[in-house]
Amino acid sequence: MSQRERLRELALTVNEGLTAYIAVHNEIFEEAATAKSLLKNLAGKGVLMSKLLEDCEALVPLWDDISEELEDFKSSDYLLLSEDERGFFDILSRYVEALQKTVTALVDRQRLMNEGAKGGRNNPMTWTAHREKEDLYQQAVNEYIAVGEKLNEARYVVFGEHSETTVSLDAQCASAFTIISRTVRDDAHWRAFGFKKCPHRGKIFQGLVPAAKLERETTLLRELCGASFGAICRWTVEQDQFPHREVFIAKLIEYVIDGVAEPLWPVFRFVTRRDAIDFIQKACADYVQTDDRDRPQVFLNRCAEHMGQLVPKAWIVGAAWLFSHPKSYVFNTALSLTDAGIASNYENDIELNDHEFLTIVENML
């Protein structure tokens, strides 16, 4: 076996490890997401936190073995590679390192959740501790996805220009979801609308905020999400050759509603899950049917409709910024998704937990 063939085998091994990680990730955040899992444990139903922790911890030796395989290859074959092949190997090594950090962060998160499920007076599960673990995990996910995009760009080195081997479409959908997450949580987006930063407060503390301010916060939370989701939907509709458009959007809805890091519909302050689904469905319809130049006005109209009054004047500037500024995630959505090669990924590994979302998408498009 040539060095290039061995390098290809290493890349396939890493992809198998990625598939194993995604399976555990989905089990945690979709089948037994944060709030639902705690309730299920109290009722003696569902997936136990201890089982989820066990599945997480099983990923650690798996990725340790993969890392060791790369180290062995580096010590024996690295100098025999071409310059391009060495470049690919270097990115692959960074990808494995980033995924090891992601797995470690996930294990730390689940250990806290497992302890929280046990209860007791000295329970370490607090909102602050939970938020800290959540943020560390999300940061690790963002980092491995960023390296993964570079790896995808360089895959031709070992797989050829017309390789049938692609990154996971499910992973690419999760990557698309991070665009929404960043849009909502990035302080720069909030500053564009006159806020100092993105608000982070639990439901208990919302009652201490003046009603008018809370209404503005809630509106902007939802509409930043809606604008980002709408931009992704619009891009997918424009991709005539994208064979998995419907299931991709359906999975994205599932991420937005039922969560990656946690169920998001309560975060956006919806009263019910159905309210959140209706909101996302309407956001997709509004933005898909709108010309680019009209999207800021659609955003402002949606905000005014939610608040039942005219939007603050600062939001007019904010809406223009959101859809035209180079630092806006919404503005960069189409370029990011195109560069990721999503539309040309013909291998569909997406599994939906709620097939209602697929029906919704089929009716929308």
| Tens-place pLDDT, residues 133-152 | 888 998 999 899 999 888 98
Tokens of 9: 């085998």
What pLDDT was estimated at residue 34?
45
Distance CA(192)–CA(316), nearest Å, equals: 10
Whether 307 has a pLDDT exceeding 50, the answer reads yes
Report the 10 Å Cβ neighbour count for 331. 15
Tokens of 86: 């060495």
Distance CA(186)–CA(198), nearest Å, equals: 7
Report the 10 Å Cβ neighbour count for 268. 20
Q: What is the DSSP letter of 201?
A: -
| Tens-place pLDDT, residues 233-272 | 999 999 888 889 999 999 999 988 987 556 667 878 888 9
What pLDDT was estimated at residue 248?
95
Angle formed at CA 281 by CA 191 and CA 148, multiple of 5 degrees: 65
Predicted TM-score of the model (pTM): 0.58
Distance CA(72)–CA(74), nearest Å, equals: 5
Cβ-contact 223, 299 below 8 angstroms: yes
**Among the residues of the chain, which ranges form H helices?**
3-26, 34-43, 49-77, 83-118, 127-154, 156-159, 169-185, 187-191, 203-206, 211-238, 245-258, 273-288, 295-307, 313-324, 333-339, 356-364
Tokens of 146: 């960023």
Angle formed at CA 91 by CA 89 and CA 92, multiple of 5 degrees: 60
User: What's the maximum distance between 2 C-alpha atoms anywhere in the chain?
Assistant: 69
Cβ-contact 283, 230 below 8 angstroms: yes
Where along the chain do its domains lie? 3-165, 175-364
Mean pLDDT of 297-326: 94
Distance CA(353)–CA(28), nearest Å, equals: 12
Whether 36 has a pLDDT exceeding 70, the answer reads no
What is the assigned CATH class of domain 3-165? mainly alpha
Whether 363 has a pLDDT exceeding 80, the answer reads yes
Neighbouring residues of 222: CB distance < 8 A, sequence distance ≥ 6: 268, 269, 270, 279, 306
What pLDDT was estimated at residue 292?
87
